[in-house]
Structure 1
Amino acid sequence: MQGTIEVTLDYPDAGAAAAFWAAALGYERRYARPPYEVIGPPAGEDGPTLVLQQVPAPATASRVHLDLRVPDPEATVARLCRLGAAVREVVAEAGRAWTVMVDPWGTVLCVCPAR
């Protein structure tokens, strides 16, 4: 797969969670665009990007899912469907659209356009 992986964590207070994880990991705030707070390693350092997503409390599903940021989202969605995943919905926010899917066991993942 070409692209990057972001780890998305669901919290009832994304801002507080982002502050905690940034301090815990030595990360920096990349940007905030409600309902998301994004943090990552300092420039020049390696490490995954964390997306803290504000969700209603209590969360009823897993609090973690993968975002697959790929150059060809449509092809990736089609390939994942052939592997047994299913499309749950297409979400459009802030001028972007991505596909929310579930793997064959019901675990959520998102296919997003590469930046």
Structure 2
Amino acid sequence: MAREIQVTFDCADPGALAPFWAEALGYRVQEPPGNFDSWDEALAAMGVPPERRNDASAVVDPDGAGPRLFFQQVPEGKETKNRVHLDVRAAPGLEGEQRMAALEAECDRLVALGASRVRRFEPDPPLGAGFIVMTDPEGNEFCLD
């Protein structure tokens, strides 16, 4: 039996990191439950004190096909390289310079949203198509692939 997955990010500011990833992936921040107009309104009704309302956030694929991304606040900062990372498929089906141009355009868009560029890896046929390593606004590595 296949299982649904959720990808969880430990972070300092879930309320800021979730919108970055929503924009990066074409996802949306998960809607509040019930008939609430905002998460702040929902959390207040649930009795969550204001200082705990940024403990978590989530983004979802509007088509329901991709995994939910969950962002949870943790007290410690990021200290080492990720052991698991996301590959954002920004140039599927493209090759060579056309592929790299598409990756560069997406890199520029994500940098404008707060990401950082780390390194570009050139195409190395037959197996290496080329990619760009980046970090999100909190330093979590991901690749434009």
Which of the five TM-score ranges fits, normalised by the shorter chain? 0.3 to 0.5
Which has more radius of gyration? 2
Q: When you count strand as a share of all residues, which structure comes out higher?
A: 1
- What TM-score comes out, normalization by structure 2 length? 0.36
- What TM-score comes out, normalization by structure 1 length? 0.45
